[in-house]
Amino acid sequence: QSVLTQPPSVSGAPGQRVTISCTGSRSNIGAGYDVHWYQQLPGTAPKLLIYGNTNRPSGVPDRFSGSKSGTSASLAITGLQAEDEADYYCSSYAGSYSWVFGGGTKLTVL
């Protein structure tokens, strides 16, 4: 059981908007620590998608956005495309120089 809780799966049709939640606690997200999001396409290594709650690395489309409130964070994907089908992971600092990931969410584009 992961420290950060994500829905196992979400789905949406092309062009739609989907959101993926990441729920933590007062020990991690709620303590004010940043949340980062990673996208893992099938058979590949994870790729940084969002850092510092809301920031996109260079090259990441603005269809991807992140937010954070209290003990939770969310990743939103608008204008859903077939190439967005992947696993998505959130992560956060958990204190004592340790890090935790969410269990991952599989996005299916219908």
Partner 1 sequence: QVQLQESGPGLVKPSQTLSLTCTVSGGSIISGGYYWSWIRQHPGKGLEWIGYIYYSGSTYYNPSLKSRVTISVDTSKNQFSLKLSSVTAADTAVYYCAREVLPASNLDYWGQGTLVTVSS
Site for partner 1, residues 51 to 110, rule: CB under 8 A: 51-52, 57, 89, 91, 93, 96-104
Is 15 near partner 1 (CB under 8 A)?
Answer: no
How many of the other CB atoms lie within 10 Å of CB of 106? 16
The nearest distance, CB 13 to partner 1, in angstroms, is: 26
- The residues binding partner 1 (CB under 8 A) are 2, 34, 36, 38, 44-48, 51-52, 57, 89, 91, 93, 96-104
